[in-house]
Amino acid sequence: MDAGDRPARLTVGVLGPGKVGSALGAALAQAGHRVVAASGVSDRSQRWAADRLSVCPSRPDEVVGAAQLILLTVPDDTLPDLVNGLVTTGADLQGKMLVHTSGAYGLSVLDPAAQAGALPLALHPVMTFTGRDDDLNKLTGISYGVTAPEMLRPVAEALVIEMGGEPVWIADADRALYHAALAGAANHMVTLIAESSDLLRRIGVEHPGRMLGPLLGAALDNVLRLGIAGLTGPVVRGDAGTVRKHVDALILAAPEAADAYIALARLTADRALAAGLLKPEEAERLLDALGGNIWT
């Protein structure tokens, strides 16, 4: 079915046409909806509104007035003020779908708007956006954390499917833990790999990415297929002497990295012990090497 033949096409407004807003707005347009207005603060977001969404920058109240579905794609800490600002300035929210893309927030952040007649939805794309032109392509096949009132659940799920995604229902009370799990995996992975790359460069490795790429690809494949059973390395082997050497070397070279290594090694040992991959006596030796109690 062509986009023009699909029923119930919506006019779309974007408040915050940055990395996420411009990608989702373009995805909705690709699904046959019509982006009619956008409002951004930075020069870059205003440029993306013109280049990626083909609309001229507007005031927030104009965006709300022009659209049936409004994407609130702003940083998490800005979202409550944006919602309250729309309400206090008298923006016409009656019957409008107000969709935020925050992972940590659920529906309560939209309560002031809902009381003014808006229809609240939380659709969080589980993807990292860099602002590059390939961001739109990244949306195909990804999951979305979906939270909505029960009567709006079919609408929320349909929007996600139209953008090429898979809706996954997240209870409102679980949004913070849901987002912590995602951020802990993706964001901290970037920090860990960047730190490892810097340490390798420090000892003369010219292309750390070439060295780390195959190793990290295999490790990621292992954990996604096998869970903790895919764990390898000195902790699960109970090699306390090796772990102690790691800690000593990091204390000298990068003390802040040593703290992170110790914390993660304790968590790794704790999970390995609970899964039966590590014997209690091996765990005790690791405990001594790490200088703390893995059960506390």
For residue 228, count CB atoms less than 10 angstroms from its CB and return exposed for 0-12, middle for 13-18, buried for 19 or more.
Answer: middle
Residue 92: Cβ within 10 Å count = 14
Output the pLDDT for position 8. 60
For residue 35, give the H/E element and its range: strand 34-39
Length of the chain measured in residues? 296
Q: What angle do CA 48, 52, 53 make, to 5 degrees?
A: 100
Output the pLDDT for position 292. 53
Tally: H helices and E strands in the chain: 13, 7
Phi, then psi, of 166 in degrees rounded to 5: -115, 115
Question: What is the Cα–Cα distance from 121 to 156, expressed in whole angstroms?
Answer: 7
Output the pLDDT for position 43. 87
Do residues 83 and 110 lie in contact, with contact meaning Cβ atoms separated by under 8 Å?
A: yes
Output the pLDDT for position 3. 44
**First-last CA distance in the chain:** 58
Residue range 11-170 forms a domain whose CATH class is alpha beta
Give the mean pLDDT per block of 10 residues along the chain (296 residues). 55 95 95 94 88 89 95 96 96 96 96 97 95 89 97 96 97 96 95 97 97 97 96 95 95 94 94 95 92 50
Domain ranges of the chain: 11-170, 177-290
